[in-house]
Amino acid sequence: MAKKETVYKGLFRLGVSRRDFMKFCSSMCATLALSSSFIPQIADAIEKKKKPYAVWLEFQSCTGDTESMLRASEPSIAEIVLDIISLEYHETIMAGSGYSAEKALHDVVVNQKGKYIAIVEGSIPTKDGGIYCVIDGKTAVDRVKEVCGNAAFTINVGSCACWGGVGSAKPNPTGAVGVPALISGKYVNLPGCPMNVENVTATIVHYLTFGTLPALDRENRPLFAHGKRVHDNCERRPHFDAGQFVRKWGDDGHRRGWCLYEMGCKGPMAYLNCPTIKWNEGTSYPIQAGHPCIACASNDSWDVFGPIYTRAPHVPGASYQSTADKIGIGAVAGTVAAVATHAAIRTLRGYKIKEKLSKEKAETD
Ligand code: SF4
C-alpha cells in the first residue's frame, strides 16, 4: 500500500503550482455553489488532510467514466483527482494485474474497513446468478456487496452504476441494476453518460473539507450538481420563451442557435449542471454544440424519456412557463386569424368592386 502523504504535498510533487492549486480550490468552491469565503477552508483541508484510500470497481460499462476522468486537461483534473485520493485499485489503469491487483483490493477492504471510498462504474448483472460479470471468481454482485459494504461510503459514477443505465433498458437481458439496489450503506449517485469529473472531484473535496457528504436530493444526487434543470441555465432559453424553435437540422433556427425542444431536447426534465460547468475545462456541452439534451443523468432515461430525437410531450414546471404547444397554438391561431382577416378584407373589397361595377353598368344602361 502506498505511503500516505498530504494531498498538497502530492500535488506539489507532481509539479502543480500554488497558483494552479488555488485556482483548483476556487473552481471547486464554485462547483459546490459555496461562497468564495470557503476557498481558504477548502485549501486548508486539501493541504493538511491525509489522502483517503479509494478503490474503483468497474462492471458492465463502456469505460466512459474512466475516460472522462483521464481525458481532463490542464491544470490536470485527472492528476488532482488521482492525488486527492489514494487510489489503490482500478482495473483499467492500474499497473498490477492478477493476484497482486486482487491483493491490493483485499488489503484496503480489510485494513481500511469503514474508512475508504468505493467508486463504482457500470451496472451489475443479477440474472442467472450474476454469471454475466465475474472477476477473480466472484460475481459483480458479491464484489459490490463486499467492497461497498465495508466502505465509508460509495460514489456511483455514471448512470449505469446509479440505476442500471443503458444496460438495464428493456429488455435488460442481464438483469442489470445499479449499486443502490444491492447495498444498504451510504452512497452518492453521480449519474450522467458519462459523469462529469468536476462533480466527482467536488464531492470528494466536500468530504475532505467538511467531513460529510454534500446535501443530496431524493435520488441521492448532490444538490450542487443536480439542484437545477438544464433548461434553467440554458443559453437557448430566451428562444424557448420567445417560441423560436429549430424545426429541422441545419435550418435557419439551428444556425442561429434557437431552442432545440422540437428536436427532442429533454433539458426541461433533466437536472444537471452541464450549462454551468460544461466539459473539457468549461469549453462546451451538447446543447451549446447544437445537440439536444438527452437527460442522460435521469433515472431510467432510455425507457422513460423515449427516443432521443422525439419531442417530449409537454414542459412541466412553474406557471410562468409557456409550453411549446401553447406557443405553437398561439402562433397558429395568430396565423389563422391573420389569414381569416385577410380573406374577409379581400371578400369585402371584391364585393365593393362588384357593387361599383354593377352601379356603373346600370348608369350606362
Ligand atoms: Fe435549452 Fe433544451 Fe430548454 Fe431549449 S428545451 S431552452 S435547448 S434546455
Per-residue 3-state assignment (H helix, E strand, C coil) for the chain: CCCCCEHHHHHHHCCCCHHHHHHHHHHHHHHCCCCHHHHHHHHHHHHHCECCEEEEEECECCCHHHHHHHCCCCCCHHHHHHHHCEEEEECCCCCCCHHHHHHHHHHHHHHCCCCCEEEEECEEECHHHHCCCEECCEEHHHHHHHHHHCCCEEEEECHHHHHCHHHHCCCCCCCEECHHHCCCCCEEEECCCCCCHHHHHHHHHHHHHHCCCCCECCCCCEHHHHCCEHHHHCCCHHHHHCCCECCCCCCHHHHHCCECHHHCCCHHHCECCHHHHCECCCCECCCCCCCCCCCCCCCCHHHHCCCCCCCCCCCCCCCCCCCHHHHHHHHHHHHHHHHHHHHHHHHHHHHHHHHHHHHHHHHHC
State whether the beta carbon of 240 lies less than 6 angstroms from ligand 1. Answer: yes
Opening angle at CA 7, ends 153 and 155, nearest 5: 20
Asked whether residue 27 carries a pLDDT value surpassing 90, the answer given is no
Nearest CA to ligand 1 atom 5: 261
User: 31 C-alpha to center of ligand 1: Å?
Assistant: 22
User: Is the backbone peptide bond immediately before 286 cis, with ω within 30 degrees of 0?
Assistant: no
pTM: 0.81
User: 307 C-alpha to center of ligand 1: Å?
Assistant: 17
The string of pLDDT tens digits covering residues 177-200 is: 999 999 998 999 999 999 998 899
The string of pLDDT tens digits covering residues 95-137 is: 888 998 999 999 999 999 999 999 999 999 999 999 999 999 9
* C-alpha to C-alpha distance for 153 and 200, rounded to whole angstroms: 13
* C-alpha to C-alpha distance for 325 and 190, rounded to whole angstroms: 33
The pLDDT of 248-259, averaged and rounded, is 97
Pick the more confident residue, 346 or 150.
150
Give the mutation target among 265, 273, 278, 305 for probing the ligand 1 site: most ligand atoms within 8 A of CB.
265
Asked whether residue 142 carries a pLDDT value surpassing 90, the answer given is yes
Nearest CA to ligand 1 atom 4: 259
Please answer whether residues 190 and 184 qualify as being in contact, where contact means their C-beta atoms are separated by less than 8 angstroms.
Answer: no
User: 191 C-alpha to center of ligand 1: Å?
Assistant: 20
State whether the beta carbon of 261 lies less than 6 angstroms from ligand 1. Answer: yes
User: 135 C-alpha to center of ligand 1: Å?
Assistant: 42
User: 265 C-alpha to center of ligand 1: Å?
Assistant: 6
User: 246 C-alpha to center of ligand 1: Å?
Assistant: 11
Please answer whether residues 59 and 88 qualify as being in contact, where contact means their C-beta atoms are separated by less than 8 angstroms.
Answer: no
**What is the model's pLDDT at position 16?**
73
Torsion region of 199: left, alpha or beta (phi above 0 gives left; psi -120 to 50 gives alpha): alpha
Give the mutation target among 232, 258, 260 for probing the ligand 1 site: most ligand atoms within 8 A of CB.
260
Residue 91 sits at φ, ψ, to 5 deg, of -55, -40
| pLDDT band at 17; cut points 50, 70, 90 | confident
C-alpha cell read off for 214: 454534500
State whether the beta carbon of 228 lies less than 6 angstroms from ligand 1. Answer: no
The string of pLDDT tens digits covering residues 310-331 is: 988 766 543 334 444 454 343 3
Nearest CA to ligand 1 atom 6: 237
